[in-house]
Structures are given as structure tokens and as C-alpha cells.
Amino acid sequence: MGALHDGHLSLIRHALQENNEVFVSIFVNPTQFAVHEDLDAYPRTWEEDMRKLQQVQEEHAASTGPNKDSVIRGVFAPTVKVMYPTLPPTSDIAGDGSFVTITPLGSQLEGASRPIFFRGVATVCMKLFNIIQPNRVYFGQKDIQQCVVIKRMVKDFHIPTEVRVIPTTRESDGLAMSSRNVYLGERRRKDAVVLSKALFAARDLYNSGELLGKHIRQAAYDIFSEEALAKRKDGKLGGSGRIEIDYIALSDPDDMRMIKDFQKVDPGRGAILSAAIIVWPVDSPKGDDELDQRSVRLIDNVILEPLKKSFQ
Amino acid sequence: MGALHDGHLSLIRHALQENNEVFVSIFVNPTQFAVHEDLDAYPRTWEEDMRKLQQVQEEHAASTGPNKDSVIRGVFAPTVKVMYPTLPPTSDIAGDGSFVTITPLGSQLEGASRPIFFRGVATVCMKLFNIIQPNRVYFGQKDIQQCVVIKRMVKDFHIPTEVRVIPTTRESDGLAMSSRNVYLGERRRKDAVVLSKALFAARDLYNSGELLGKHIRQAAYDIFSEEALAKRKDGKLGGSGRIEIDYIALSDPDDMRMIKDFQKVDPGRGAILSAAIIVWPVDSPKGDDELDQRSVRLIDNVILEPLKKSFQ
């Protein structure tokens, strides 16, 4: 969808290393935005995006890595009318059109609060795959449910492509890269690190041998509580925006079926621990950049890899 | 779906003439049968189907037509598990799975009485197209709404294939070929010809310059009334099964939007006149072949081609 950051560029770097020709698609897809979500406000940064792609290509050509002759052959940036040639794209779950639906996968977690989201994602990806006919497609692990939905779509519809999931690119403090991070502003940006910190803590606990769903998720919740407590001691409570936990979920890696609190992670399969938070506007704005703040919803996840035999 | 008749063979003959290699798919697709419809009773005639394909291939090789070296390269007859690899196929409109939906096209006419039908058709065709990756796909005009749905799917999802619609193959008296005709038995078979006769009469009226929806459809209804009347005079009333008209519909050729009674056919676009009837069991069975008859639903259609300028 454009607004390229290092996370996107990482996908493109991987694609260049593994293929001879790379196509980049940039399309802000209307059918995955709900009516109340602000499609028009989504950042569009075409000039800067092209500069970044140029740079990635030059770095790749100058590198000593594999496939250094491979190139970004094209950027596919279609109009809405090209992608939705007959009926206008709808944001209504009951709206008419030609759609791919993947359920129950697409109705859980991110799909629970955004019922049209994965219908829009699956639909637009099916179209992109048919137009470009890629040998491999690259998705970022940060949108883990999207990765699982696309993998399922490729399997169920026998789409002749390979889905590559590239690990999440993070800022130095751990925050997952996202086009939405720019909306945070300085103070909320610092606080948002709690999300990755919580997930890492829970992963550490799992890696030490803890398998019970309740305990693993609690380790993540504890970090949020500690952070809030630390702020209170510093007298900072209310200084930044309130952080609301939307969900912290432990799921099966293949179908994202929930692993409940009283269930254990199968150490032979591992799991996905994913979370979404809402960072509310700061309570007392200071300076212009904190005026007119809006709440920002952030997602992140870690993969709990299958454990070595010694823990099983 | 197998149970090959001359209508299917006509598709294959056209495909052989227009391509070098032809693949025939034979798959009785569970997701397009409703729960109350009898999936298991659908005729399966594998040995006979193969003999017919062999014969078509031999006739083609011996012909003097175009592309006489082309061959039926394969018959693709997958298991249900291959086509639905993750979740079991559902016949429930609210059931889970990976589906393609094309609305409102798939919810009208045939889709009105069979809400899951075109979801099942579009879904299985998307899979077949991805597996075979054909340059051209062949569908029979008899299932006209299916043709329009598939054309729409190909357009909206940018599927790299060409949809070829082959005219309906008919028995010498006009009845459209269908796997279901075998269920009729001798007497009902004779009466069923009223369906094509009615459509032809309406088409004749249109070709003579009549454009009003009401008048065109009435011409078809009149044939049903005349036939019933003729039977009464012959004292044959009740001798065969009652014929119930499900619908006689006049539709736009591209999106099948209904052309209403007070509307006129745009002579520059033409229209589709389609109908469905239900032939009920004979009132007084004679002989074994009329025992345990079930009602048979038949569909047919004619295309009202755009008219020459003189009529516009």
C-alpha cells in the first residue's frame, strides 16, 4: 500500500536475493478499509517510495550477496477501476461484488473487529497474483494473520506460487515498523515499545519450557502492568496516552485456532503469540505535534518456534 | 461433472478445433449441491464417458477441420480432498471455507432458488483454472447464467484465460441436451419440448421487431397455455406430468439485470431470455419406467441478438 518503510524494503531485498525479477505492487486497496476507517488519510508518498526502491536496487547491485544481477522490473500501481473493473469497491460486508472469503480464518482476531478486512486482502491478492503471476510472493510476518490467510488461499485455490514470510523489521528498541508509527509522535512512540517488550517476555517464558496458555499470555500482560506501575511511580501517569490492550492471543500456527488459557502449546507445533493495542491521544498535549492526535492501533506478534526435544 | 452427452462433446469438439491440447475436467462438485439436493444420485458414468471422449478424439483426427492434430491430453478427475484440501466442503451458505462469491449476479434467477450454487461453481472453476492454467475455457450456453458468472469472475479477478460460450446442443425436436433428461421417461420427455418451443416463439417475436418485455415474455407463456389447451382437447389432460413454470426471465446480456415487463429491450444490446420449468411425475403411471418418478427441473435459454439497424 506504499508509504514504504524498512519493513517493506526488507521484503524487496529478500525478493531480489531469491529471484531474477521483482515486481513491487503499490495499491491502497479500498475493500479492506471499513467505512469509518480513513481510506483517504492513508499516507501516500509516491516520490519518496520510488527513491527508496531505487536505493534498494542500487545497494543490491553493489552487494556481494546472491543474485546480484536481479532487478526490480516494475512497480505495479493500478487505479481502483483496474482492480475493480465492474462494480465500485464496497466496504459493506453485505455489499455486492466479486470477492474471495477465507473463513473462519478471516473472521478471527484482526477479522473479529474488522469483518471486511481479510475479504479485501484475499480478494486484492488474488487479482494481483493473476496479473503478475509471480513464482514467489513476499509478505511480512508483522501481519501474521494476513500471511496465514494468504497461505490458506494459495493452498485451497491451488494458486501456483510460493508464499514467503519475512521476519518483522524492528526499530532499535524493538517496536515493529509500521506505516502507522508516524502518527504516534515522540512521547507515544516511546511508550509503544511496551508491545514488543511484552511479546518478547512471553516468548522468553515459553522458550524456558512453559507451555500453559494462561501463563504465557500472563507474562505479556505483566509487562503492561509493570510499565503502567513504573509510570505511576515516576509521577508520569497521564503524561502520555492511555494504552488499551485490544487482545493478546495465542494461536495455532497453521489455522490460528485459539489456544485457550487452560490449554498447552503443543511443543512439536509451536504457536503464534499476537497482540493488538490502541494508543490513545496524550492526555495533556504539549506543542503543535500533539494537537489533533488520533488514537493509533498497533499490532505485533512473535512466533513460538517448536521446542527442542529436551523440553517436550 | 461427467455423464457426458452431446452438449458436452460439442464443447470438446470446439476446444479441439481451437487449441492444440485439451483437458477435460470431470468432477461432481459438492459445494454447488444444496443439502436437500441429491449429490450422491448425480449420474456417474466413467466408463461410458471415456468411450465417448475416445470417439470424439478419433473423429477429430479423421476430420478435415482445423487443428486436426490436436488431442485430448488429459482428463482431470480429482478427489474431493484435492479440490477442498483443508476444510470439508460445505453446502451451507453460512458454512466455513475458502470461497469465491460473485454478487448480485450469483444471487438472481438460478441463484435465487439455489443460494449456494454459483458460489460453488465460481469456487471450483477458480481452482480448476489455477491447476490447468488453460488459454481458453469452454462452457455451454445452456447454463447461460453460469457463463455470465464465469465471464465476470475472469474479468474481475484478471484471470488470464478466454471464456468461450458454445451454443446449446439440442435434440431434433428442440429440447436442450441435459444430463437430467434421462430422468424424464418417454411421455414426459415428449411434453418437455414445450420449453424450447416457448423460447423460440418469443425469440421470433423479438426478431420481428417487438421490444417490450411484457410482450416478449407473454409470447413464451402463450405456448405453455396453448399446449395445455391442446392436451385438454385431446383428452390427454393428466396423462403426463404437470409442467410448472419456475420463471421466464428477460435479462441484460452482461449482468443479467432483469428487463421488466414495462421496459424495452435495447436493440443495440439484445437480451437473454431464460426459463426454468419443473416437470412433475406423471399423474397415472403406466409401466415400470413411470414408477418412482421424481420431479425434474429443466432450464433453457435463447439469446436475443442485437437487432439490425432497420429495427432500431
Do both A67 and A147 map to the same domain? yes
Which residue is listed with cell 417487438? B210
* Of A137, A126, A159, residue with least CA distance to B131: A159
Residues A252 and A304 sit within 8 Å (Cβ to Cβ): no
Give me the torsion for CA of A129, A178, A274, A10, rounded to 10°.
Answer: 60
Q: Which is higher by pLDDT, B281 or B162?
A: B162
Q: CA nearest A136: which of A79, A67, A89?
A: A67
pLDDT for res A240: 66
Buried b / exposed e over A79-90, threshold 16 CB at 10 Å, is eeeebbeebebb
- Statement: residue A311 has pLDDT above 90: no
Q: Say what the pLDDT of residue B247 is.
A: 94
Interface test with B, best of A86, A90, A98 (most B CBs within 10 A): A98
- Determine which of A107, A149, A156 to mutate to test the interface with B (most B C-beta atoms within 10 Å): A156
Nearest-CA neighbor of A206 among A277, A273, A263, A300? A273
- Same domain membership, residue B269 and residue B232: yes
C-alpha cell at B145: 447464467
- pLDDT band per the 50, 70, 90 thresholds, residue B159: very high
Residue of B154, B158, B252, B257 to mutate for A, most A C-beta atoms under 10 A? B158
Above 60 in pLDDT, residue B186? yes
Pairing of strands B21-25, A21-25: unpaired
DSSP-derived 3-state class of residue A302:
strand
Which CATH number belongs to the domain containing residue B185 in this structure?
3.30.1300.10
CA dihedral (B252, B257, B263, B264) in degrees, to 10, reads: 0
Residue A305 falls in which region: left (phi positive, over 0), alpha (psi -120 to 50) or beta: beta
Domain that holds residue A245: 179-311
Question: Judging by beta carbons within 10 Å of its beta carbon (0-12, 13-18, 19+), is residue B285 exposed, middle or buried?
Answer: middle
- A106 secondary structure, DSSP code: G
**H helices of A36-143, where?**
46-62, 80-83, 110-113, 117-132
The whole-number pLDDT of residue A138 equals 98
If asked whether residues B185 and B159 sit together in one domain, one would say no
- Per-residue pLDDT of A144-155, as tens digits, reads 999 999 999 999
| CB within 8 Å of B142: residues ≥ 6 apart | B7, B168, B176, B177, B178, B299, B300, B301
Which of A121, A132, A157 should be substituted to probe chain B, the one whose Cβ sees the most B Cβ atoms within 10 Å? A157
Please tell me the predicted confidence (pLDDT) of residue B292: 80
Q: List, in sequence order, every residue forming a beta bridge with B25; answer none if it has no partner.
A: B76
Beta strands (DSSP E) in chain B are 21-25, 71-76, 97-103, 136-140, 162-166, 241-251, 271-282, 296-304
pLDDT digits (tens, 9 = 90+) for A215-245: 999 999 999 988 776 665 554 544 566 889 9
> CA quadruple A35, A38, A43, A46: dihedral positive or negative?
positive
Residue B147 lies in a domain: yes
Name every chain A residue with its beta carbon within 8 A of the beta carbon of B98: 100-102, 152-153, 156-157
Closest-CA residue of A relative to B88 is: A156
A 10 A CB-CB count for B83 gives 20
Residue B45 lies in a domain: yes
ipTM: 0.92
DSSP string, B193-253: THHHHHHHHHHHHHHTT--BHHHHHHHHHHHHHHHHHHHHHTT-TTTSEEEEEEEEEEE-T
Q: What is residue A272's three-state secondary structure?
A: strand
Are A157 and B98 a contacting pair at CB < 8 A?
yes
Q: Does residue A288 surpass a pLDDT of 60?
A: yes
Q: How many domains does chain A have?
A: 2
Contacts of B103 in chain A (CB under 8 A): 96-97
Interface of B with A (CB under 8 A): 84-86, 96-104, 126-127, 130-131, 133, 152-153, 155-160, 255
Between chains, do B98 and A159 touch, taking CB under 8 Å as contact? no
Structure-model confidence comparison of residues B225 and B14, the more confident one: B14
Contact flag A96-B103 (C-beta cutoff 8 Å): yes
Whether B286 has a pLDDT exceeding 60, the answer reads yes
pLDDT at B234: 55
**Which pLDDT belongs to residue B238?**
45
Q: Do A156 and B86 touch (CB under 8 A)?
A: yes
Q: What is the CATH number of the domain that holds B16?
A: 3.40.50.620
Backbone angles phi, psi at A278, to 5 degrees: -115, 120
3-class secondary-structure state, position B258: strand
Nearest to A127 among B97, B98, B157 (CB): B157
Residue A256 has a pLDDT of 92
**Same domain for A102 and A33:** yes
- Closest residue in A to B83 (Cα–Cα): A156
Residue A16 and residue A149 in one domain: yes
Residue B173 lies in a domain: no
Residues of A with CB below 8 A from B160's CB?
Answer: 130, 133
Residue B171 lies in a domain: no
B197-245 pLDDT per residue, tens: 999 999 999 999 999 999 999 999 999 988 776 666 554 544 466 889 9
**Structure confidence at residue B308 (pLDDT):** 79
Q: How many Å lie between the alpha carbon of B85 and the closest alpha carbon of chain A?
A: 6
In this structure, is residue B1 part of a structural domain?
Answer: no
Q: How many whole angstroms separate alpha carbon B271 and alpha carbon B184? A: 30
pLDDT mean across residues, chain B: 92
Q: Which of A45-54, A196-205, A231-240 has the least mean pLDDT?
A: A231-240
Task: Output the pLDDT for position A39.
Answer: 81
Per-residue model confidence as pLDDT tens digits over A16-49: 999 999 999 999 999 999 887 778 877 789 999 9
B22 with B148, same domain? yes
A134 within 8 A of A23, measured Cβ to Cβ: yes
Same-domain status, B243 and B154 = no
Distance CA B4, CA B113 (A): 25
Whether the CB-CB separation of A267 and A211 falls below 8 Å is answered with yes
- Average model confidence (pLDDT) across chain A: 92
**B124: its cell numbers:** 471450483
Contacts of B256 in chain A (CB under 8 A): none
* pLDDT value of residue A310: 63
Q: Rounded to 5 degrees, what are φ and ψ at B66?
A: -70, 155
Q: Is B174 a member of any domain?
A: no
Q: Are residues A226 and A84 in the same domain?
A: no
Domain boundary among A138, A166, A194: A166
The residue ranking higher by pLDDT, B129 or B184, is B129
Which three three-digit cell numbers place residue B137?
A: 475455457
Percent of chain B's residues with pLDDT above 70: 95
The answer to whether the CB of B267 falls within 8 A of the CB of B223 is no
Peptide bond into B306 cis (omega under 30): no
C-alpha grid cell for residue A231? 509510570
* pLDDT single digits (tens) A115-145: 899 999 999 999 999 999 999 999 999 999 9
Per-residue pLDDT tens for B48-102? 999 999 999 999 999 988 899 999 999 999 999 999 999 999 999 999 999 999 9
pLDDT of B117 reads: 96
Residues of A with CB under 8 A from a CB of B: 84-86, 96-104, 126-127, 130-131, 133, 152-153, 155-160, 255
Based on the fold, state whether residues B192 and B151 are members of the same structural domain: no
Torsion sign across C-alpha atoms B84, B86, B89, B92: negative
In the predicted model, what is the mean pLDDT of residues B246-272? 95
**Of residues A8, A60, A158, A215, which has the active-site annotation?**
A8
Please report the pLDDT score of residue A232 as a whole number: 59
Decide: helix, strand or coil at residue B12. helix
User: Are A33 and A125 contained in the same domain?
Assistant: yes
Which of A123, A141, A166 is a domain's end point?
Answer: A166
Whether residues B146 and B197 fall in one domain: no
For position A148, what pLDDT does the model report?
Answer: 97
Max CA pair span of chain B = 59
Please state the separation of Cα A71 from the chain's center in Å.
26
Nearest residue to B195 (alpha-carbon basis) of B276, B258, B296, B256: B276
How far does the CA of residue A157 sit from the closest CA of chain B (Å)? 5
What are the contacts of A59-68 at 24+ separation with CB within 8 A?
A60/A13, A60/A16, A60/A17, A65/A17, A66/A17, A66/A18, A67/A16, A67/A17, A67/A18, A67/A19, A67/A20
**Closest CA of chain A from B260, distance in Å:** 21
Last-in-domain residue among A127, A144, A166: A166
Angstroms from A223 CA to nearest CA on chain B: 36
Instruction: Give me the half-sphere count of Cα atoms (radius 13 Å) on the Cβ side of residue B227.
Output: 22
Residue of A nearest to B97 (CA): A103
Cell numbers placing A87: 462494480
In a domain, B175, yes or no: no
Domain presence at residue B202: yes
B162 & B185 share domain: no
